[in-house]
Amino acid sequence: MGYKIEKGAAGREINGKYYIVLPKEMKLIKLNNSGSLIFDLLCKNTKETAIVKALSEKYEITAKEAAKDLAAFIKELKKAKIAR
């Protein structure tokens, strides 16, 4: 299954962190380090398995833990209408 960042979600990596502006409004949020990594990969249309691998390698966690973290983060992004 693939996830996509919504077209109208604005975002920029500034000083190592991603700042996101929610679609259709001017609300600004900041992502933490792992969130920034996931957002960056999602923007590049990276597949879920590759994101899990990247998380697992960067944070030295198991693939199962990485998949769980990714799912939780995606749920938040969907709630904020940033991802679909």
Partner 1 sequence: MIEKELAEISEENLIPAWGMLELTHRCNTKCSHCYVVRQKKTELSTREVKDVLDQLAEAGNLFLAFTGGEPFLRKDIYEILEYAVKKRFAVTVLTNATLLDTAAVKKLKKIGIHELSTSLYSLKAEVHDGVTRVRGSFLKVMRALKELKKAGISVKVKCPLLTVNYSEKKALTDFAKSNGFKILFDPTIAPKNDGNVENTGQKIEGEILAGVIKQHCAGWQYSTKFPERNVICSAGKNFIAINPYGDVLPCLQIPHTAGNIREKSLKEIWLNSPMLNKMRGMKLSDLKECVNCENIRYCNRCPGLALLESGSLYKKSGSACEMAAIRSGHCNG
Order of strands, sheet of 28-30, starting from the edge strand that comes earlier in the sequence: 10-14, 17-21, 28-30
- Residue 41 CB, nearest distance to partner 1 (Å)? 14
* Binding flag, residue 44, partner 1 (CB under 8 A): no
Segment near partner 1 (CB under 8 A), from 2-10, 48-56, 58-66, 67-75?
Answer: 2-10
Residue type (1 letter), 17 = K
- What are the two backbone dihedrals, phi and then psi, of residue 31, each rounded to the nearest 5 degrees? -95, 150
Which residue ranges make up the site for partner 1 (CB under 8 A)? 6-15, 19, 21, 23-26, 28-30, 43
